[in-house]
């Protein structure tokens, strides 16, 4: 299908009159096929100030490199490469990246190098999952960490000196073919799958473009009929991604971080009528040592005897009641009134879940 200029102008007018309180489609979904690709490579960092590694594969790589330059290192000779380190190089190839453009790369030591500070990466190919070379990396490293060591073996390290970055350190050599311009439709994949949100996306697009232009596959994917001409498709997509959609409310969830005691209660969490008792029991054990001295001019000896004192303190148990359909604000007020600690709140929420009174999904991470 062809998108006429008059239709595009009409869509722009509709876009300007859309409500401003909703979320843009570009913030809620990603276009299928428009994605980045991971690249990885292997190379050598040279020019280190004695902080390189002495791994066998570093020597092997160095020998291979010198052979390509016409230099042969005799067998059995250890080059003692204190200023060379073997590294891995990785980068993310953005969608629609073209040959000749630059990429930021991250360089990480894979041997026992102490630091990559001050080093330079020699030309290293970056390959994709298909084994093809998509970029070439080279340049001077920027390392945020550093370390210092004393003669007695003491040392201090700030951040991670064995990892560095090279801004614009790789040049793209091959383009990844994108399926963006293929087919008769454009598919949006929601970042948060939800049936209600998918239905609302379809309704907004059909109200803007016309009935039957968009349809949902499931709670994640929504397809829209689109022109085949790449230029028209770009203009078409620029209008679609700026449409305002009112997303559905998230499902009721309570997330508990058992390591830090952090508790996040969602907006739609409800509690059925329930009564909760809260109390604390504190046990304190204090160890003292008593010394018994013998009388003068006797055969007795000094004796040290332990003296343990145990104290048990129990706070009065307090009970608070949840009424029907309690809101998030009421839950927070009830917990604050009894002065419950995060660990106590976790126990209360888990008990409510076991009793069937918590109307939400309880997630413990």
Mean pLDDT of the 190-203 span: 91
Highest mean pLDDT among 59-63, 68-72, 200-204: 200-204
CA–CA dist 351, 345 (Å, integer): 10
Mean pLDDT of the 331-344 span: 62
More confident residue, 272 or 205: 205
CB atoms within 10 A of CB 350: 15
Instruction: With a cut of 80, say whether residue 311 has pLDDT above it.
Output: no
Find out whether 39 and 135 touch, Cβ atoms under 8 Å.
Answer: yes
Instruction: Tell me what pLDDT residue 179 has.
Output: 82
Establish if 293 belongs to a structural domain: no
Domain boundary among 215, 245, 275: 245
Q: Using CA of residue 143, residue 146, residue 151, residue 154, what is the dihedral sign?
A: negative
What is the bridge-based pairing of β-strands 163-172 and 102-109? antiparallel
**E runs forming strands in 173-327:** 185-190, 214-216, 221-225, 244-245, 253-257, 262-265, 270-271, 274-278, 281-292, 303-314, 318-322
Domain shared by 109 and 49, yes or no: yes
Is the pTM higher than 0.75? Answer: no
Token look-up 């087919």 returns 183
Find out whether 355 and 347 touch, Cβ atoms under 8 Å.
Answer: no
Q: Tens digits of per-residue pLDDT, 162-173? A: 899 999 999 999
- Burial of 276 by CB count in 10 Å (0-12 exposed, 13-18 middle, 19+ buried)? buried
Instruction: With a cut of 50, say whether residue 15 has pLDDT above it.
Output: no
Instruction: With a cut of 60, say whether residue 228 has pLDDT above it.
Output: yes
Domain shared by 57 and 150, yes or no: yes
Counting residues of the chain whose pLDDT is more than 90, the rounded percentage is 24
Domain boundary among 126, 143, 172: 172
Domain shared by 257 and 237, yes or no: no
pLDDT grade for 133, boundaries at 50, 70 and 90: very high
CA–CA dist 257, 343 (Å, integer): 10
Q: How far from 139 is each of 44, 49, 102, 104, 128, CA to CA, in Å?
A: 11, 17, 12, 11, 20
For residue 179, what is the DSSP state?
A: G
Domain shared by 196 and 228, yes or no: yes
Domain shared by 142 and 41, yes or no: yes
CA–CA dist 53, 50 (Å, integer): 9
Establish if 57 belongs to a structural domain: yes
pLDDT grade for 137, boundaries at 50, 70 and 90: very high
Mean pLDDT of the 263-275 span: 69
Establish if 301 belongs to a structural domain: no
More confident residue, 141 or 250: 141
Instruction: Tell me what pLDDT residue 157 has.
Output: 64
Full DSSP string of 57-125: HHHHHHHHHHHHTT--PPTT-----TTEEEEEEEEEE-TT--TT-EEEEEEEE-SS-S--TT-EEEEEE
pLDDT grade for 148, boundaries at 50, 70 and 90: low
Query: 196 by DSSP, 3-state: which?
Result: helix
Domain shared by 128 and 186, yes or no: no
pLDDT grade for 91, boundaries at 50, 70 and 90: very high
CA–CA dist 22, 201 (Å, integer): 11
How many structural domains does the chain have? Answer: 3
Full DSSP string of 12-70: HHHHHTS-SSSEEHHHHEEETT---EEEEEEEEEE--SS-----HHHHHHHHHHHHHTT
Instruction: Tell me what pLDDT residue 195 has.
Output: 92
Instruction: With a cut of 60, say whether residue 82 has pLDDT above it.
Output: yes
CA–CA dist 42, 31 (Å, integer): 32
Mean pLDDT of the 349-365 span: 70
Instruction: Tell me what pLDDT residue 55 has.
Output: 81
- Pull the structure tokens for residue 196: 């209600």
Domain shared by 236 and 277, yes or no: no
CA–CA dist 37, 174 (Å, integer): 12
Domain boundary among 132, 155, 172: 172
CA–CA dist 176, 229 (Å, integer): 19
Average pLDDT, the chain: 77
Give residue 147's domain range. Answer: 37-172
Domain shared by 215 and 275, yes or no: no
Instruction: With a cut of 90, say whether residue 103 has pLDDT above it.
Output: yes
Instruction: Tell me what pLDDT residue 9 has.
Output: 39
Query: 351 by DSSP, 3-state: which?
Result: helix
Find out whether 108 and 162 touch, Cβ atoms under 8 Å.
Answer: yes
Establish if 294 belongs to a structural domain: no
Instruction: With a cut of 80, say whether residue 288 has pLDDT above it.
Output: no
Mean pLDDT of the 337-342 span: 59
Mean pLDDT of the 286-295 span: 64
Establish if 298 belongs to a structural domain: no
Instruction: With a cut of 80, say whether residue 34 has pLDDT above it.
Output: yes
Domain shared by 228 and 347, yes or no: no
Instruction: Tell me what pLDDT residue 344 has.
Output: 63
More confident residue, 35 or 54: 35
């Amino acid at each position: 299908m062809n998108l006429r200029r008059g239709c595009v102008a009409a869509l722009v007018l509709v876009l300007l009159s859309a409500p401003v309180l909703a979320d843009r489609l570009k913030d809620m979904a990603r276009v299928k096929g428009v994605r980045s690709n991971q690249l990885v490579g292997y190379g050598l960092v040279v020019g280190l100030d004695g902080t390189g590694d002495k791994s066998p594969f570093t020597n092997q790589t160095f020998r291979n490199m010198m052979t390509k330059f016409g230099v042969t290192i005799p067998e059995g000779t250890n080059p003692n490469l204190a200023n060379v380190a073997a590294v891995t190089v990785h980068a993310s190839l953005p969608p629609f990246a073209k040959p000749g453009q630059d990429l930021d790369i991250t360089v990480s030591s894979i041997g026992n190098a102490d630091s990559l500070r001050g080093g330079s990466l020699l030309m290293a190919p970056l390959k994709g999952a298909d084994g093809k070379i998509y970029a070439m990396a080279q340049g001077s490293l920027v390392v945020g960490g550093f370390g210092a060591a004393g003669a007695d073996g003491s040392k201090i390290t700030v951040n991670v000196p064995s990892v560095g970055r090279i801004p614009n350190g790789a040049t793209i050599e091959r383009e990844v073919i994108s399926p963006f311009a293929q087919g008769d439709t454009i598919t949006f994949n929601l970042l948060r799958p939800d049936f209600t949100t998918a239905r609302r996306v379809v309704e907004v697009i059909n109200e803007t473009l016309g009935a039957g232009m968009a349809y949902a596959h499931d709670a994640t994917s929504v397809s829209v009929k689109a022109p085949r001409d790449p230029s028209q498709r770009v203009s078409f997509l620029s209008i679609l991604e700026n449409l305002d959609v009112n997303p559905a409310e998230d499902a009721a969830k309570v997330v508990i971080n058992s390591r830090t005691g952090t508790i996040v209660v969602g907006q739609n969490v409800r509690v059925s009528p329930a009564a909760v008792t809260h109390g604390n029991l504190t046990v304190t054990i204090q160890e003292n040592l008593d010394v018994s001295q013998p009388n003068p001019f006797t055969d007795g000896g000094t004796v040290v005897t332990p003296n343990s004192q145990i104290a048990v303190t129990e706070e009065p148990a307090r009970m608070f009641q949840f009424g029907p359909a309690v809101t998030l604000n009421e839950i927070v007020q009830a917990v604050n009134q009894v002065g419950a600690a995060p660990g106590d709140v976790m126990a209360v929420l888990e008990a409510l879940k076991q009793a069937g009174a918590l109307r939400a999904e309880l997630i413990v991470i």
